[in-house]
A and B are shown apart, each in its own frame.
Chain A
Amino acid sequence: MRIITAHHPFFHPVAQRTNCRDTATSSTTPFLSTPATILYCRCAYAQVVPSGVKNDVLQKLCDSDTSFETVSDLCEMAAHRDPRLQAIASCGSLRIAACFPRAVKGLFQQAGFPLPADTEILNMRTQSAQEIADALLGAPALTAA
């Protein structure tokens, strides 16, 4: 039996990731921000997101080496105020591939877990898969302290 802890890569606790920004704000040199957490919504409970786009976005994420989180349907989670939404909303820098930003923000707010203002929401109903993948997988911005 192997014991794993919260420091194991399965878990990636939030504190380990967000400290970078806090530390760097006291610095006078530009720094590379912590990588954003990536969330992909499959919109599996209704066929309103073009399947070609959502399949291509997922394929591009899978083609990369990066870790990412996927959910079957954010609407379904919001319907029963899934506490997982709270974990998502509180994980710091976040990039979400889902649908209209106004709807995604509304879902989280209505569930009681508003998204941080700087969350990037990519719209698979209107944007191309390439555009979305580029935004999801792009390097984090250089931020001057």
Chain B
Amino acid sequence: MITHTHRPLRVVLYEGSGSIQLPAESRAKVMMALLDKGYTVTRSGLGAPAMPHDERNLLVLGAFEGKAPALEDATGKISIDTCDITGLEPDAILALVDKSRGEKTMNEPGKWKPWFPVIDYSRCTNCMQCLSFCLFDVYGVSDDNKIQVQNNDNCKTNCPACSRVCPEVAIMFPKYQAGPINGDEINENEAGREKIKVDISSLLGGDIYSALKDRSAAAKSRFSKERSPDKALDERKKCLTKLVGDGFIPADVLASLPSTEEILKKAVIAKAKAAAALAAQ
């Protein structure tokens, strides 16, 4: 189950005054074990500062030789627990932290992948193609008429199809393997290739929104003549089928497409949203 609450606990690996420094290898093992379970960990040592504190509870781990100090936040806002980890193996330390967390929910690696588009606003031209393309309502329009990612959880894991229809290569999926979709830098040749792909794949009626953006009478006229809803739907399906065939998106994305009626309804809604946002620019 995905939970959208932030980390319930901040773990501090404390090696300052009153504790014994862990061997570097043990320190790394403990931190890896905690991070791989989903915890955030502050190593409190010397030199560079750690982050400021927040409202989360603190769990302070240290080699206190059996004498973990009792601590209390002077402001009374957060609770502070201390645990002595002298001589404990990483697994035992992880068990201590889990016990301290108790029943509070937390996302854990391996059970969910944070998969959602990230918009590079330095490249985005607010053309709204992604809004019209995505059938799962991931995108929306902000109060100031900017495209934005509104429903992360609706995004289909491992499907980066919308990044392919973005004419500006402005949509990233940081967990994707290859560039520039993973956020790698873009050279102009790559951007050109992406644009060519978009031209081919629209296909999707994406030119509708380019036309809206241009707001020229000629473009508007072309929009009205070019595409019937049925044709646009047919082209969208062809495109998605091709992307599945190429291994670019998972097959279950096709299987989970909304019904034809729903797609048509969504297309109308998306078109209205995009038109309103573009007209307001």
Nearest A residue to B155 by beta-carbon distance?
A79
Contact check, B172 vs A83: say whether CB atoms are below 8 A apart. Answer: no
Q: How far, in angstroms, from A68 to B13 measured CA to CA in the complex?
A: 10
Asked if A109 lies at the interface with its beta carbon under 8 angstroms from chain B, I say yes
Contact check, A67 vs B177: say whether CB atoms are below 8 A apart. Answer: no
Asked if B72 lies at the interface with its beta carbon under 8 angstroms from chain A, I say yes
Contact check, B113 vs A70: say whether CB atoms are below 8 A apart. Answer: no
- Quick one: CB contact mask for B172-186 with A, threshold 8 Å, 1 for yes? 101111010011110
Q: Chain A interface: which of B31-39, B125-133, B223-231, B261-269? A: B31-39
B166 CB, nearest partner CB in chain A, Å? 13
Asked if B138 lies at the interface with its beta carbon under 8 angstroms from chain A, I say no
Contact check, A67 vs B24: say whether CB atoms are below 8 A apart. Answer: no
Contacts A13-B52, A76-B114, A107-B174 given; does A67 touch B46 at CB 8 Å: yes
Asked if B7 lies at the interface with its beta carbon under 8 angstroms from chain A, I say yes
Contact check, B109 vs A70: say whether CB atoms are below 8 A apart. Answer: no
Contacts A44-B36, A99-B174 given; does A2 touch B70 at CB 8 Å: yes
State which residues 8-45 of B face A: CB under 8 Å.
Answer: 12, 14, 16, 24-25, 27-28, 31-32, 35-45
Asked if B63 lies at the interface with its beta carbon under 8 angstroms from chain A, I say no
- Quick one: CB contact mask for A24-51 with B, threshold 8 Å, 1 for yes? 0000000000111111001011101000
Q: Inside 8 A of B104's CB, which chain A residues have their CB?
A: none
Contact check, B118 vs A110: say whether CB atoms are below 8 A apart. Answer: yes
Asked if A91 lies at the interface with its beta carbon under 8 angstroms from chain B, I say yes
B66 CB, nearest partner CB in chain A, Å? 16
B26 CB, nearest partner CB in chain A, Å? 9
Q: Inside 8 A of A110's CB, which chain B residues have their CB?
A: 118-119, 148-149
Contact check, B36 vs A78: say whether CB atoms are below 8 A apart. Answer: no
Q: Chain A interface: which of B53-61, B86-94, B212-220, B233-241? A: B53-61
Q: How far, in angstroms, from A10 to B39 measured CA to CA in the complex?
A: 17
Contact check, A107 vs B6: say whether CB atoms are below 8 A apart. Answer: no
Q: How far, in angstroms, from A59 to B58 measured CA to CA in the complex?
A: 24
Q: How far, in angstroms, from A5 to B49 measured CA to CA in the complex?
A: 16
Q: How far, in angstroms, from A13 to B51 measured CA to CA in the complex?
A: 7
- Quick one: CB contact mask for B100-121 with A, threshold 8 Å, 1 for yes? 0000000101101110101111
User: Could you give 23 example pairs across A and B, Cβ below 8 Å?
Assistant: A9-B50, A10-B50, A11-B52, A11-B53, A14-B52, A38-B48, A45-B113, A48-B175, A48-B176, A58-B32, A64-B45, A69-B40, A69-B50, A70-B31, A70-B35, A72-B37, A80-B6, A84-B40, A91-B52, A99-B183, A106-B121, A106-B172, A110-B149
Question: What is A's interface to B at a CB cutoff of 8 Å?
Answer: 1-6, 9-14, 16-17, 34-39, 42, 44-46, 48, 55, 58-59, 61-73, 75-80, 82-84, 87-88, 91, 99-104, 106-107, 109-110, 125-126
**Besides A58-B32, A99-B183, 16 new A-B residue pairs in contact (Cβ under 8 A), listed by A number:** A12-B49, A16-B49, A37-B50, A59-B28, A67-B42, A67-B47, A69-B42, A72-B36, A72-B37, A77-B6, A80-B5, A84-B51, A87-B54, A99-B182, A100-B182, A106-B172
Question: What is B's interface to A at a CB cutoff of 8 Å?
Answer: 3-7, 12, 14, 16, 24-25, 27-28, 31-32, 35-54, 56, 58, 60, 69-75, 80, 107, 109-110, 112-114, 116, 118-121, 148-149, 152, 172, 174-177, 179, 182-185
